[in-house]
Structure formats: structure tokens, C-alpha cells
């Protein structure tokens, strides 16, 4: 090997190795001090780009979780308010049931109506004052809101609160109360559709096992309709008939001594098999009150109750809608059919059915004609809870239908709000899982492995020390060669 002094290749090699060791040492120090394996594009440009996209997803998911929590808070606010509204409406409904009872006077009903109006005012207060971040939720003005519940465009959840629950916005019903005519629904077909829902076919009328509940009664028709389980439809029946009493002033029924009479209601003899026999002198009268009491004494068998109206007429009522058949025997007529009714004693007097729903009702089939008028379509009425009145028994009964519709509307809205909360909860759970997994993957790409970096640092430290020593020795080689000349 030639001995030269104009260049020192050994020193250059040692310096190059020293530079490499110094670079490795510096890089290891940087990783250990920052905790990052990829701190800049120079470290690994592809890894840095991937890490950037992952960080965008992490940041977006974190904010989406916050957005979803906002959605839950909004839904909980609405849910709490709807629960209060439901409570108020239930109280109003209880008052309506009270007011519909004939034992209450006009002043009693006025008091009940006043209580109801106060509760309805509170419903409006809750509906108009329930707010979230300055936005009113339950008066219909909130409409539909879109929550960004994902890191990317299009990953949204929709909250629909466009249905307001002020008293002027709820309580509408499609309602009709009509007589059952002819043979009722027995042997006929009837189809019923509520709103845009499916069309139901009602089967044959279902007769009961008590007097008057035959297949041609309003009771049987309503039982058949309700047995079809038509979503959103309520069917009820009642039967009220009026009769004239053949009595004197004050309603007393007078007969000749020895006259025997009997009244039969739905096949049951009111005075038993022996009938009622008039006596002589002052004992030849039967009071209207006693007749009513006698009819009511067998109501458990007949399903019919009796009462006297102010005009002296006898009212018989079957609250379940069964037919009422009245006949009499004996030499003395006790009652006549109500004038103008066109009905006669001994004839089965049919009741009425009431249909109500929160959406319009569409009737079809031959059974629709069995309902007096045969109206094919029963649209929504204009009355809402804002017009609710409990001042009379009739208005209280109508109020019950309106209140049931309102409660159904509020219940549906509250159910939707509950579903919204569950959806946000599910979204948050998924986002937490995604964020955790993406963060873990990003860490694998960008974070320093301290055990391997510490090992690399130790190696680089040794090589750096060796390099310094070798550069020093290599720089002494030309001096050693000069000794050959200087001796």
C-alpha cells in the first residue's frame, strides 16, 4: 500500500462513519424527546400523510361525539317537557270523565271546566317556553334539525320536532256517531282505513252472551271492529231510548183496582212473574220513581238502566250499545214509544256507534251502509284542545275523544324523541370505538418505540465515540509518514 500525505482517505472514511453515527444519535435523541417516530415529512412522508388523514378522522369523530351529546341534551329537554304535558292532559281527561257523569250539577261542571282550562294553559306554557340554546322546541317552530354525527359529509342524524303540542295544534279527531240501521253489520262486509295506514277488513258482527247483545246490535258491531285491532281507531257503542209514561201529572201511573200489568225489558219481567197489581182508592197508583227503581233492580240481567228526564219521559240506557227491547202485558198501558221515533214497543231498538281516530277514517263495503248515512269518509274535525269545554255532559264526552287524540299525538312525539336519544347513544358508542381504533392505528405509525429507539441511541453513542477516536488517529497518519523523511 503506497504511503502518501497529500490525501488522507482513512480520515475521510472515519469522518463519514462519524457523521452517520452522529445523525443516528441526533435522530434517536429527537424521537425520545418528542415521543414521535415521524415528526416531519423527512422522517417518512407516506406515514405522515396517512397520519394526517387519521388525525382528521379522530378530530371529526371527537367533535361528532360532542354534537351527539348536544342532541341528547336537546332530546332530554323535549322529553321532560312532553312528560309534563302528558301529566297535565291526563289530569284534564280525568276531569272530563268526572264532568260526563250525570251526578254533577252545572256549577260543579263549571268548576271542573275552570280547572281544565288552567291545566291547558299550563300545557301552552310548557309548549312555548321549552327551549334549548334559545330555540323553542315544542311549538312547531323548531321544525327539522340536522346533527353532524360523523367525521365526514353526509354522516348526519335528523331530529323532527315539527309537530307542535300547543292546545291549538293537538286534539283533532276524525269522529262520527251514527245509528246502526236495519240488520247492523251482521252478514255484511266492512273495510276500515285510518289515515294512510293499511286497510282492515272487519269480520262478522260478534254477538255477546247477555240479553240484547245479538249479532245485529251496536254492541256486536263495535266488538267486531275493535277485534280487528285497527291501529289508531277507537270504536264505542251506546244505546239510549226515550219512552212516554202514560201517567197523571207528576208521573204517577193510575190503574183500576185489580188491574195487573208487567213490563218486559230484554226478556226480563221487571215485576217478576206475578206482575204489578193496582189496589183500590189511594193504592191504585204506581209512581214513576218506583217504576224506574224496579227497572234498575233487574239491570244486572237486562244491561239496561232507567232514569226520569225533566220533561217526564222515561230514559233507558244500555251503555255497551246492546239492543233495548221493551214490551208490556196486562190491561193497563204503562208506557208508549217516544213520539216521532217511528219505533214501536216490542221492537228491538238499536243503538249507536262512535268511531274516532287522529287521522281521517275511510269506510267501505256493504257494512258502511249499515251505519246511518253510510259516510265513506270521515275527515278530521276542526276542534282542537283550544276549544275544549267541560261545562256540559255532552261536551265532556266529546272532549274525551279530543283528549285521547292529543295524548296519542304527544305519546307518538315522545316516542320519537326517545328513539332520537337511543340513536344518539348508539352513535356515540360507535364513534368512541372508531376513535379508539384509529388512534391506536395512528400511534403504531407515528409514535416512537422507546425500547428500540433507546437501543439505537446506545449503539449510535458507542459508534460516535469510536468515530471521534478513529478520526483523531487517522489524522495522525500523515505525520507518521513524514518521519520517514525527517528521520
> Can you give the residue ranges of every domain in the chain?
48-169+408-437, 176-381
pLDDT band at 373 (very low <50, low <70, confident <90, very high): low
Q: What mean pLDDT value characterizes the chain?
A: 82
Are the C-beta atoms of residues 362 and 201 closer than 8 Å to each other? no
Is beta strand 174-179 parallel, antiparallel or unpaired with respect to 156-161?
Answer: unpaired
pLDDT band at 269 (very low <50, low <70, confident <90, very high): very high
The residues, any chain, with a CB within 8 Å of residue 370's CB and separated by 6 or more, are: 180, 181, 182, 183, 184, 185, 188, 190, 221
Exposed/middle/buried for residue 106 (C-beta within 10 Å: 0-12, 13-18, 19+): exposed
Exposed/middle/buried for residue 484 (C-beta within 10 Å: 0-12, 13-18, 19+): exposed
What gap in Å lies between CA 436 and CA 122, rounded to an integer?
47
pLDDT in tens, 66-100: 999 999 999 999 999 999 999 999 999 999 999 98
Predicted structure pTM score:
0.60
What gap in Å lies between CA 345 and CA 348, rounded to an integer?
8
CA 159 to the chain's CA centroid: 14
pLDDT of 402 reads 86
Over residues 242-252, the mean pLDDT reads 73
Is beta strand 377-378 parallel, antiparallel or unpaired with respect to 361-364?
Answer: antiparallel
pLDDT in tens, 382-392: 678 888 899 99
What gap in Å lies between CA 200 and CA 64, rounded to an integer?
44
What gap in Å lies between CA 240 and CA 234, rounded to an integer?
20
Homologous superfamily of 48-169+408-437: f41 fragment of flagellin, N-terminal domain (1.20.1330.10)
pLDDT band at 374 (very low <50, low <70, confident <90, very high): low
pLDDT band at 176 (very low <50, low <70, confident <90, very high): low
pLDDT in tens, 310-320: 878 888 999 88
Over residues 344-373, the mean pLDDT reads 76
Amino acid at each position: 500500500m503506497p504511503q502518501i500525505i497529500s490525501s488522507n482517505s482513512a480520515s475521510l472514511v472515519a469522518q463519514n462513519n462519524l457523521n452517520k453515527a452522529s445523525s443516528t444519535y441526533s435522530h434517536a435523541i429527537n424521537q425520545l424527546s418528542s415521543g414521535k417516530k415521524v415528526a416531519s415529512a423527512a422522517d417518512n412522508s407516506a406515514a405522515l400523510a396517512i397520519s394526517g388523514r387519521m388525525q382528521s378522522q379522530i378530530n371529526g369523530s371527537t367533535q361528532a361525539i360532542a354534537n351527539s351529546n348536544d342532541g341528547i341534551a336537546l332530546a332530554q329537554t323535549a322529553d321532560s317537557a312532553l312528560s309534563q304535558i302528558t301529566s297535565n292532559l291526563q289530569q284534564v281527561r280525568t276531569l272530563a270523565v268526572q264532568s260526563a257523569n250525570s251526578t254533577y250539577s252545572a256549577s260543579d261542571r263549571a268548576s271542573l271546566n275552570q280547572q281544565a282550562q288552567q291545566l291547558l294553559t299550563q300545557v301552552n306554557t310548557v309548549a312555548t317556553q321549552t327551549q334549548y340554546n334559545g330555540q323553542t322546541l315544542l311549538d312547531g317552530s323548531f321544525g327539522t334539525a340536522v346533527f353532524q354525527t360523523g367525521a365526514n359529509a353526509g354522516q348526519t342524524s335528523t331530529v323532527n320536532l315539527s309537530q307542535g303540542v300547543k292546545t291549538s295544534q293537538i286534539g283533532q279527531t276524525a269522529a262520527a256517531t251514527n245509528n246502526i240501521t236495519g240488520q247492523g253489520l251482521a252478514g255484511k262486509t266492512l273495510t276500515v282505513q285510518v289515515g294512510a295506514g293499511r286497510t282492515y277488513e272487519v269480520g262478522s258482527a260478534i254477538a255477546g252472551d247477555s240479553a240484547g247483545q245479538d249479532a245485529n246490535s251496536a254492541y256486536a258491531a263495535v266488538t267486531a271492529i275493535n277485534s280487528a285491532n285497527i291501529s289508531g281507531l277507537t270504536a264505542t257503542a251506546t244505546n239510549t231510548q226515550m219512552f212516554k209514561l202514560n201517567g197523571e201529572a207528576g208521573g204517577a201511573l193510575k190503574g183500576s183496582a185489580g188491574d195487573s200489568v208487567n213490563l218486559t225489558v230484554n226478556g226480563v219481567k221487571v215485576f217478576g212473574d206475578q206482575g204489578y197489581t193496582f189496589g183500590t182508592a189511594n193504592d191504585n197508583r204506581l209512581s214513576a220513581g218506583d217504576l224506574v227503581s224496579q227497572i234498575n233492580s233487574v239491570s244486572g240481567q237486562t244491561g239496561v238502566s232507567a232514569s226520569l228526564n225533566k220533561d217526564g219521559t222515561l230514559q233507558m240506557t244500555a251503555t255497551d250499545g246492546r239492543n233495548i227491547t221493551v214490551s208490556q202485558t196486562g190491561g193497563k198501558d204503562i208506557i208508549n214509544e217516544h213520539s216521532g221515533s217511528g219505533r214501536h214497543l216490542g221492537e228491538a231498538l238499536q243503538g249507536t256507534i262512535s268511531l274516532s281516530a287522529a287521522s281521517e277514517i275511510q269506510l267501505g263495503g256493504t257494512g258502511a251502509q249499515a251505519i246511518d248515512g253510510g259516510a265513506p269518509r270521515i275527515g278530521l274535525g276542526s276542534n282542537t284542545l283550544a276549544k275544549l269545554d267541560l261545562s256540559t255532559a255532552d261536551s265532556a264526552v266529546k272532549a274525551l275523544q279530543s283528549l285521547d287524540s292529543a295524548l296519542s299525538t304527544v305519546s307518538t312525539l315522545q316516542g320519537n324523541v326517545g328513539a332520537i336519544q337511543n340513536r344518539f347513544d348508539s352513535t356515540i358508542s360507535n364513534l368512541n370505538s372508531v376513535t379508539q381504533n384509529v388512534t391506536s392505528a395512528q400511534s403504531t405509525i407515528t409514535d416512537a418505540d422507546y425500547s428500540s429507539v433507546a437501543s439505537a441511541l446506545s449503539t449510535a453513542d458507542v459508534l460516535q465515540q469510536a468515530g471521534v477516536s478513529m478520526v483523531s488517529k487517522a489524522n495522525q497518519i500523515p505525520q507518521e509518514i513524514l518521519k520517514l523523511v525527517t528521520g
